[in-house]
Structure 1
C-alpha cells in the first residue's frame, strides 16, 4: 500500500483538470505545451509510481520495456487504448486505467452534430455567410438530407453507440446496429441487430461508426461497404480515423456514392488526408468528441479515484487490465 504515490502527468490538461492531480497527489506535469517525445516521456517517468497520458502518447512494446521499474500504473485519459501495448504492460505487471462511461454523452452529442452538419450542408452554408456570397433565400439553395424519419445504422453498440441511439429516437429514426455480439433486449431498446456489417450498410441512411479501434477494425469501412449504402447516405465517424479507408471514402464522396461525411477523427491526425479539407460535403471537426469542461473534469476525477483505489489496495472500477 502506497498512500503517497508519485504521479507524472504527461499530457496537457486544462488547468481545472491538472489541479485534480496536483492537489491530490502533488503530481509533476508536462509544462511544454506540446506532446512529449517518447524519450521525454520515459525520462520524466523515472522514479514515478504512475503516469497519466492520453491518445497522442504512444507506448509500444519497446517504450513499455524502457519504462522505469517503479511504474505500477499507466492511466490513459481516454476511453480507447489502441495507443498502448496492453500485452506488454501486462507482462511487466503494470495496471492500466482508462475513462469509460463519463464521456459517452458528450461524444454522442458530437455524433449528432456531425450527422446534422453533414446532412444539412453546414460547411457550404457557413462559406456563403462568411464569404459574403449569399444571394438570398432560394428554394433550390443547399438541398440537404432529412435526418428525421431516416434509418440510423450504428457500427459498435457500446456505451457511446447506445447514447447515440437514445437521441435517434427523438428524431423518429429506425435504429439498426452491428456488434460482434447481439445485445440483450433491454440494451437494444428496440434497435434491430445485424449479424454482418454488409447487412447493416444496406439499412443505413446514416452510418455512424462508434466501435473501438483494434487491428480487426482497421480499414473496416471500405469501398465494398460504402457501395452497399442506400442512395444519399451520410457517413459519420466518432471513433477512430483508421476504421475508415480514406481513399475509398473520398472516392465515394466525389462520385456521389456517399452524399456527405461528418468526421471528428481522422487517420494520421492532425496530418489528415488533404482532400478532406477540400471537399464541400465533408463536415470535419478536430477530434472534439469529449471536449466539454464537465466531461474533461469527470475523466480526470475518474482517473484520480482509480489511482487512489489502486494505491490504497483496492480495485479500481476503471481498470482495463
Structure 2
C-alpha cells in the first residue's frame, strides 16, 4: 500500500521532517521564504495533506486546486489565513499549534513593553549616533512598570501568560474579553473591564486576542484617544487589529506615549513605514514564537497533526470538526 503524500510549505526543524518522512512520502519547499503561489498550489494538488505557515492563504482557490487534501496543518496558533468554513464544507480538517508558543510569545510582549517604557531602542540609537548627552534629572525619562496598571485585551492562553508575569511587577491587572475569565480573576486577581474603560484606566495596554471580523481594525484613532498620555500600547496578536495610519498620528500627538509592535498590517512591513521614523515606537519582525525550542515544538505538533490524519487517527489540536469523523 502506497504512503500518503504530504507537502511542507517551508523549511522546518529536522525532527518534524523526520516524523513526516516515517509515515508519508513528502515534498518540501526547502527555503526560508514562501514558495510562489503557483508552485504551492501545484504541489498541494499532488498531496493528501499540507503543513503550512501563516503566510499561505488557504481558501476556495486552494481547495479547487487541491481536491485530494484531507488536512491543512497550520504551524501557528492563529489561523486567520485559513477559510475554516470553506474547509469544513469540503470535508477538510484544519489544525493549529496552541499552547506550545504561549510562554515565548508572552516573553516578546514583555520585551516590547519594557523596551518602549524605558526607551531602550531610542537610548541605543542615541549612543550609536554619538549623541549621549550630559546627565541631568530629566534625561531620557521613561515610564515606571513596577506597580502600574496593565490592561490585557484577550484573555486566552497568551493573555493569561502576560498577566502571570505582571504579578512579579506588583501590577494591577485588568482584562477585556468576549467572555469573563473567572480563572484569571481567582488566580491572579485580574479585574474585568469594558473595552473603553480598560483603555482609559491602563498604563500599559497589551493586545493578545486573535484577528477576527470583530477585532479587525479594533485599535484606531478613537481607541488611542481614550488612552492615557503616559500609556504604552503593545500588539503581539495580528497586524490587522491595528489601523497603523491612526497609530502613527496618535504617537505623534503623544497619546499613547509609546508603542511596540511585533506584527504589522503588511508583512514584511516596508522599511519606509512611517512608524520607524518615530522615537516612541519599537518594532520587531513577527518573532513572538522565535526560539529554537518553541519553533521545533510548533513544527512537531503540526507534523503530528498531519501524520495522524493521513494515517487514520484524530488530530491532536483540530480547529474544525467534520461530521462522521472519529
| Structure 1 counterpart of 2:5 | 6
Aligned mates of 2:292, 2:177 — CA distance in 1? 31
**Whose RCO is larger (CA < 8 A, sep 6+)?**
2
Scaled by the length of structure 2, the TM-score of the pair is: 0.92
Q: Report if the CA contact (8 A) 1:3-1:311 is conserved.
A: no
| Structure 1 counterpart of 2:61 | 62
Shift of 1:30: 0.1
| Structure 2 counterpart of 1:298 | 297
> For the structure 1 residues 33 and 107, does the alpha-carbon distance in structure 2 shift closer, same or farther, using more than 3 Å as the test?
closer
| Structure 2 counterpart of 1:307 | 306
1:94 matched to 2:84? The reply is no
> For the structure 1 residues 134 and 14, does the alpha-carbon distance in structure 2 shift closer, same or farther, using more than 3 Å as the test?
farther
| Structure 2 counterpart of 1:139 | 137
Aligned mates of 1:147, 1:3 — CA distance in 2? 59
Shift of 1:281: 0.7
Shift of 1:116: 0.3
Aligned mates of 2:181, 2:95 — CA distance in 1? 25
Q: Report if the CA contact (8 A) 2:143-2:230 is conserved.
A: yes
Where do 5+ consecutive residues of structure 2 fail to align?
Answer: 321-326
Aligned mates of 2:201, 2:36 — CA distance in 1? 44
Task: Give 1:1-321 correspondences, 5 Å limit.
Answer: 4-15=3-14, 17-22=16-21, 25-67=24-66, 69-185=67-183, 189=187, 190-194=189-193, 196-272=194-270, 274-321=273-320
Please give the per-residue CA displacement for 1:15-58, whole angstroms capped at 9, x wherever unaligned: 55545444554531002442122221110123211111111111
Please give the per-residue CA displacement for 1:211-238, whole angstroms capped at 9, x wherever unaligned: 0101211111111111111231000000
Shift of 1:186: 5.6
Aligned mates of 2:46, 2:310 — CA distance in 1? 16
Aligned mates of 2:248, 2:89 — CA distance in 1? 40
Aligned mates of 2:307, 2:45 — CA distance in 1? 20
Q: Report if the CA contact (8 A) 1:263-1:283 is conserved.
A: yes
SS where residue 62 of structure 2 aligns? helix
Aligned mates of 2:29, 2:88 — CA distance in 1? 25
> For the structure 1 residues 23 and 282, does the alpha-carbon distance in structure 2 shift closer, same or farther, using more than 3 Å as the test?
farther
Q: Would you say how many aligned residue pairs link Structure 1 and Structure 2?
A: 318
The answer to which of 44-53 and 96-105 deviates more is 44-53
> For the structure 1 residues 300 and 91, does the alpha-carbon distance in structure 2 shift closer, same or farther, using more than 3 Å as the test?
same
Q: Report if the CA contact (8 A) 1:201-1:225 is conserved.
A: yes
Scaled by the length of structure 1, the TM-score of the pair is: 0.93
SS where residue 168 of structure 2 aligns? helix
The answer to which of 268-277 and 222-231 deviates more is 268-277
The answer to which of 155-164 and 13-22 deviates more is 13-22
Q: Report if the CA contact (8 A) 2:17-2:303 is conserved.
A: no
Aligned mates of 2:131, 2:22 — CA distance in 1? 52
Aligned mates of 1:308, 1:33 — CA distance in 2? 23
Aligned mates of 1:64, 1:147 — CA distance in 2? 48
Where do 5+ consecutive residues of structure 1 fail to align?
Answer: none
